[in-house]
Amino acid sequence: MMMTMEYHNPVLLKETVDGLNINPDGIYVDVTFGGGGHSKEILKRLGDKGKLFAFDQDQDALENTIDDSRFTLINENFRYIKRFLRFYGAKKVDGILADFGVSSHQFDVAERGFSTRFEADLDMRMNQQNALSAFQVVNKYDEEQLKQVFLQYGELRAAPAMARLIVEQREVQPIVTSEELKAVLKKFLPPRHENKVLAQIYQAIRIEVNQEIEALKEFLEQTPEILNEGGRLSLISYHSLEDRLVKRFIRNGMFEGEPERDMYGNFEVPFRKVNGLIVPSKEEIKINSRARSAKLRIAEKI
Ligand SMILES: C[S@@+](CC[C@H](N)C(=O)[O-])C[C@H]1O[C@@H](n2cnc3c(N)ncnc32)[C@H](O)[C@@H]1O
């Protein structure tokens, strides 16, 4: 595969790694390795005894591995974080960094199907071994499932009508490429907002294909058990669905409802929030437009 462009330009690099409050002898995890920008910065701040484990479910990311005896790259989904850390002998760690979503590389390789800029077969799998692809979602999901995907993950008001039209059209002929999907949904793409609506449609399908919300929740739920006391979470989200879950989990240790109270009436929560919401500066967004929707939240295990 050609890789002429830079794999990924790390977002909020200093702020996110600062958020880990690194102990040079500690054990850290970067659950979204990508091009390894954040991992390299963590390694710079670790001493000889420190360790870094990284996860990425995309095989392409393995080409960026770092030759360093303190570093281990795990080609797995971070929803299995506890299991794989145990396998590598790390029951507890001192910090976990996540930079969710899709890498620039994944967007830039046309045939991966992530970008609205290129014509490609419907795919959008971060892990190319997975059975579920955008083709399956568009051609096999029933109308109600499609509606829910567009509604929940794309926040698209026209979701019911879009789902109906897709189901009608695919009976005539399967919808194979991004151009075909675009043609089917043309009447929902107002010329002035075509890119915005298309981006919402793509986002919805991508979140479903990669089961991003389920993976995020399962990952977060394991973090209180994995982190040592005083250990940090430093998490960058790129859309409101993700950020809402991260924020609630940091505040309550759960996604819905309220935590239990202890015998003094205080809420029993696993984390203490560190700083408020951190977003990239105007300068960073100017240099790296993919930073524009980034939201960083930091928490410390109590
Ligand atoms: C925004 S990029 C991270 C970029 C990285 N911080 C850097 O500096 O290069 C997100 C990466 O996380 C990976 N990823 C997303 N969800 C994942 C999951 N559930 N399990 C494992 N890897 C995941 C993607 O394949 C992608 O390479």
pLDDT: which is higher, 293 or 2: 293
Amino acid 40 reads: K
Last residue of a domain, one of 191, 210, 229: 210
Q: Which two tokens stand for residue 179?
A: 């151009």
CB atoms within 10 A of CB 84: 18
Q: Is 47 annotated as a binding residue?
A: no
- Considering only CA atoms, which of 132, 107, 113 is closest in space to residue 181? 113
Does residue 72 fall inside a structural domain? yes
Is the separation of the CB atoms in 143 and 156 below 8 Å?
Answer: no
Residue 99 labeled ligand binder: yes
Give the chain's domain count.
2
Annotated binding residue 219: no
The per-residue pLDDT for 5 is 63
- Domain identity same for 221 and 206: no
Q: C-alpha distances in angstroms, 68 versus 28, 40, 44, 48?
A: 14, 10, 11, 10
Q: Are residues 52 and 77 in the same domain?
A: yes
**Residue-wise DSSP of 60-79:** GGGGG----TTEEEE-S-GG
Quote the crossing angle between the two packed helices 212-226 and 194-209, to the nearest 10°.
Answer: 60
pLDDT 10s digits, 58-86: 999 999 999 999 999 999 999 999 999 99
Q: How confident is the model at residue 37 (pLDDT cuts 50, 70, 90)?
A: very high
Q: Does residue 2 register a pLDDT over 60?
A: no
Strands 295-301 and 71-74: unpaired
Tens of pLDDT, residue by residue over 225-264, are 999 999 999 999 999 999 999 999 999 999 998 888 888 8
SS3 81: helix
Residue 6 forms part of a structural domain: no
Q: Which domain, by its residues, includes 134?
A: 114-210
Q: What CATH number has the domain bearing residue 239?
A: 3.40.50.150
| pLDDT reading at 152 higher than 80 | yes
99: phi then psi, degrees, rounded to nearest 5: -130, 85
Contact (Cβ atoms closer than 8 angstroms) between residue 78 and residue 98: yes
* Ligand 1 center from residue 101 Cα (angstroms): 6
Question: For the purposes of burial, counting CB atoms within 10 Å of the CB of 213, is it exposed (0-12), middle (13-18) or buried (19 or more)?
Answer: middle
Question: How confident is the model over 283-293, as a mean pLDDT?
Answer: 95
Does some domain include residue 4?
no
Residue 8: predicted pLDDT: 87
Written as one letter, the residue type at 88 is Y
**Which pLDDT belongs to residue 265?**
86
Residues 261 and 129 in one domain: no
Q: Are residues 165 and 202 in the same domain?
A: yes
CA–CA dist 150, 146 (Å, integer)? 6
Residue 66: predicted pLDDT? 98
In the prediction, which pLDDT does 159 show?
98
* Ligand 1 touching residue 10 (CB < 6 A): yes
280 lines ligand 1 (CB under 6 A): no
pTM for this model (two decimals): 0.96
Task: Tell me the percentage of the chain whose pLDDT exceeds 70.
Answer: 98
